[in-house]
Amino acid sequence: MTTTPGLAADPGAFLVSWAEDELRAAIAPRLGARPIEIFAQGSRVNGTQLAQGSDIDLVLMLHAPPGEWEGFRDDVLAALGETWAVRMGRRCLNVDEPDSLFGEMVDILVATEFHGGVFFRDSFGQPIVNFPRQHRVNGDAKDLRTGGRFKEVVRTAKRLRKGVVDVPSYLLECLLWNVPDEVFRSPAPYRDALGWLRRCDPAVFAGLYCQNGINRIFGPGPDQWDPMGTGRIIDVLHSI
């Protein structure tokens, strides 16, 4: 593996690069000729993880229409099955190898390209379209505008929710991304950010966008949430 300059000084970046190389090598014999792209998503590369040992989330994307997703998923399972024991979870492909660092740390989202985002189906067959690259770009931009306060507040919310309330970290990050930048510059950015969400007009709150700026947070879709239930979660987090 060729080490990119700077990776040796950043163990997290080195692990992500290592995982991408391992996945690319495993699929190359069967799928190497296909127009495939591998990139990282999730809290580790977004800078909102709570520990250096957090999972590495990789996207294995085929540059093809959504109609080719099922066939691509089956080809990926077959290709990786030659190296590891693999299975499909609710959304991601998992490696079930007891002594494998790759299996222990890496989740793989198998997807096809769709309008600048990714398309896949969950284990119930429901179609989901998401935009992980836009999520990362928008999060980095807001963190820069708030002097690093945005991601600091996201990490605080994630840490405090543990053992208190069951809420996906992705939802927390998206909610906090909607809070105006100036709120994060206050002396108590965590409480004030949650307070802004609590006081938000219900109609405005129900129309909030995900951090990618494209999908709505709330709605009937498999990747959306209920605004009333989320409001109760915010109340709990604000009270901690």
13-58 residue pLDDT tens: 888 999 999 999 999 999 989 999 999 999 989 999 877 667 899 9
Closest among 234, 203, 201 to 218, alpha carbons compared: 203
Print burial letters for 91-126: b (CB count within 10 Å at least 16), e (below 16): bbbebeeeeeebeebbbbbbbbbbeebbbbbeeeee
The residues with which 166 forms a beta bridge, in sequence order, are none
Q: For strands 117-121 and 56-62, give the pairing.
A: unpaired
Q: How high does pLDDT run on average in the chain? A: 91
Cβ atoms 82, 97 nearer than 8 A: no
The percentage of residues in the chain with a pLDDT greater than 90, rounded to a whole number, is 78
pLDDT digits (tens, 9 = 90+) for 197-227: 999 999 999 999 999 999 999 999 999 999 9
Is the pLDDT confidence value at 192 over 50? yes
Question: What span, in angstroms and rounded, lies between the C-alpha atoms of 186 and 207?
Answer: 25
**Residue 219 zone, left/alpha/beta (φ > 0; ψ -120 to 50; rest):** left
Average pLDDT over residues 75-89: 93
Average pLDDT for residues 111-115, to the nearest whole number? Answer: 97
pLDDT of residue 53: 60
CB 66, CB 112: distance < 8 Å:
yes
